[in-house]
Structure 1
Amino acid sequence: MSDTHTVLHDPRGLIGAELPLDRAPHEALVTAVLAWKNPDLAPRDYEQIALQLTGHARAVAADVRRHAAALPRNDGRGALAEVILREADRHLSAPLEGTAHCARNRARLVRALYTRLDRLTEPIPASP
């Protein structure tokens, strides 16, 4: 029997870094969750939504870390990224709950991470 798969060794996570985030559907989910007025879902549905947002938050946080690490030490954007990343780590270490509150918190986290990622990737205007 021949081997039909290849095991990849990627200790620095470079393979995943080359894959773009699937941003649009997650932003749509964030928008929907944050627009809830009086949701009436089953706890397992809230948990699944929070789980989806948690996974995506981890991916966005990894991108924020990667971009922040590439900045010069005197670039203030890196320090601001560290603040949001510490906050993200704190939120992501909390256990998931089957509640609208938990899902909303994860949605807010994804939104904050994308805001920081956008600031890290936008070009800095040249000084006059």
Structure 2
Amino acid sequence: MSDTSVVLHDPLGLIETELPLDRVPYEALVTAVLAWKDPDLDPRDYEQIALQLTGHARAVAADVRRLAAALPKSDGRGALAEVVLREADGRLSAPLEGTARCVRNRARLVRALYTRLDRLPEPVQAVT
């Protein structure tokens, strides 16, 4: 194991815009988590699922932020996106717990972010 690390400097967030989200497996995970009746998993399993959902929620939130920022200030969709993003920031700042409740909350957050993302227009690409 090395004592060195590499820090990626991407102040414009260009890497995130180049990598499309792999939405299908996460939507399936959200559906499965929200359908749980009485799960009995080890706390570490709940934590792992919550970590997966947290990472994906952050990626979806970045897309929502990027698309909302491209809207005119007068477009109400941007204001609604800001409300969802503030809620997401609050939920994502809460510590993870090894519980079904925590995992369900992260799943609901991913679903809410995708709902908002789907209501934002993709920016028009300039033809060069």
SS of the residue corresponding to residue 120 of structure 2 reads: helix
Q: In the TM superposition, what whole-angstrom CA distance separates every residue of 1:86-117 from its partner, at most 9, and x where no partner exists?
A: 00000000000000000000000000000000
Shift of 1:80: 0.1
Paired residues in the alignment total 117
Is the Cα contact below 8 Å between 2:60 and 2:110 reproduced in 1? yes
* 1:35 is aligned to 2:38: no
Shift of 1:63: 0.2
Larger Rg: 1
Q: In the TM superposition, what whole-angstrom CA distance separates every residue of 1:47-74 from its partner, at most 9, and x where no partner exists?
A: 1000000000000000000000000010
5+ residue gaps, structure 1: 1-6, 123-128
Q: What TM-score, normalized by structure 2, do the two folds share?
A: 0.87
4+ residue segments displaced more than 4 Å: none
5+ residue gaps, structure 2: 1-6, 123-128
Aligned residues with identical type, % of pairs: 86
Shift of 1:10: 2.4
Q: CA RMSD in A?
A: 1.6
Correspondence list, 1:1-128, <5 A? 9-121=9-121
